């Protein structure tokens, strides 16, 4: 079986599983089930260093993202700021990607996904510095968060969808837009900004453009291969937990005194 045939089989399985959840009356529960099958598809394909969870992202400055459907994070080194039964809080430096999962993509869904992904992508990653003598060495800045959207169906005519998509996305600055979208068995949408050269860097004509690829049955393969390429090169940061817990208006404060030896 070729790689193309393998991914088409995966697409058929995802589509069939998604259809079975139509029997669930509660919209939130249907959505959770579809998020789970996307997670189960992606997780075995990702590099070992990357895990998948859901919940919120927090920056060291105290800002929070919205609730994210799927969060790809540093599975090896990520310190969770909160772990609940079904949701977690991840430090921004340990997050590579957020994925919004939609059953049917309509205009209101584009707006919602665009807002959620923008809130995640605008989070500032500060990283950690280490002190050496009188100065300090700062670790390299981690790669910004990537924003993805996965939809099982398209609820608009393609021309209307592309027009509405561009109008809604253009309301966000380039570095806060959705990078990669898959509409199962229909199309893949790429947006290349300066934070993510998803294509060869010599293709400057693609910068800040929307590329609508009518990939049809190969949409899942194209989406997955682009995501895996970016994740293979992804550089996580080291969150400075002292900044998280001791800075900002919500930081921990307590009385203290210095004790030492007089010379």
CA distance 70 to 53: 6
CA distance 86 to 192: 33
Q: Which residues pair with 211 in a beta bridge?
A: 190
Of 254, 248, 231, nearest in space to 42 by CA: 231
Q: Which phi-psi region, left, alpha or beta, contains residue 13 (left: φ > 0; alpha: ψ -120 to 50)?
A: alpha
Q: Residue for token digits 């919602």?
A: 112
Domain ranges of the chain: 3-127+137-244
Determine the pLDDT at residue 203: 64
CB 146 within 8 A of CB 180: yes
Instruction: For the beta carbon of residue 104, count every other beta carbon within 10 angstroms.
Output: 12
Q: What is the pTM of this model?
A: 0.87
Q: Which residues pair with 150 in a beta bridge?
A: 101, 182
**Token pair of 33, please?**
């089930």
Spans in the chain with pLDDT lower than 50: 131-133, 137, 202
Determine the pLDDT at residue 94: 92
CA distance 101 to 173: 22
Determine the pLDDT at residue 147: 96
Q: 2 phi and psi, to 5 degrees?
A: -75, 165
Determine the pLDDT at residue 201: 56
Determine the pLDDT at residue 100: 97
Determine the pLDDT at residue 251: 54
CA distance 143 to 223: 20
CA distance 152 to 104: 6
Determine the pLDDT at residue 1: 78
Determine the pLDDT at residue 131: 47
- The Cα diameter of the chain in Å comes to 80
């Amino acid at each position: 079986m070729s790689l193309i045939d393998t991914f088409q089989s995966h697409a058929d399985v995802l589509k069939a599983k998604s259809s079975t959840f139509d029997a669930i009356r509660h919209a939130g529960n249907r959505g959770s089930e579809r998020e789970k099958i996307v997670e189960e598809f992606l997780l075995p394909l990702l590099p070992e260093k990357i895990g998948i969870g859901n919940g919120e992202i927090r920056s060291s400055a105290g800002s929070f993202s919205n609730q994210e459907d799927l969060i790809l994070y540093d599975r090896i080194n990520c310190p969770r700021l909160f772990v609940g039964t079904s949701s977690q809080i991840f430090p921004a430096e340990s997050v590579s990607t957020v994925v919004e999962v939609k059953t049917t993509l309509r205009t209101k869904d584009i707006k919602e996904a665009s807002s959620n992904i923008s809130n995640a992508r605008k989070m500032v990653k500060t990283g950690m510095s280490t002190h050496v003598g009188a100065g300090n060495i700062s670790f390299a800045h981690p790669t910004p968060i990537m924003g993805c959207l996965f939809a099982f169906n398209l609820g608009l005519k393609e021309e209307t969808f592309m027009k509405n998509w561009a109008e809604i996305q253009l309301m966000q600055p380039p570095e806060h837009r959705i990078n990669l979208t898959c509409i199962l068995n229909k199309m893949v949408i790429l947006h290349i900004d300066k934070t993510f050269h998803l294509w060869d860097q010599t293709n400057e004509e693609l910068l800040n453009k929307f590329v609508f690829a009518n990939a049809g049955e190969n949409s899942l393969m194209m989406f997955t291969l682009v995501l895996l390429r970016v994740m293979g090169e992804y550089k996580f940061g080291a969150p400075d937990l002292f900044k998280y817990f001791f800075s900002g208006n919500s930081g921990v404060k307590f009385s203290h005194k210095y004790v030492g030896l007089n010379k």
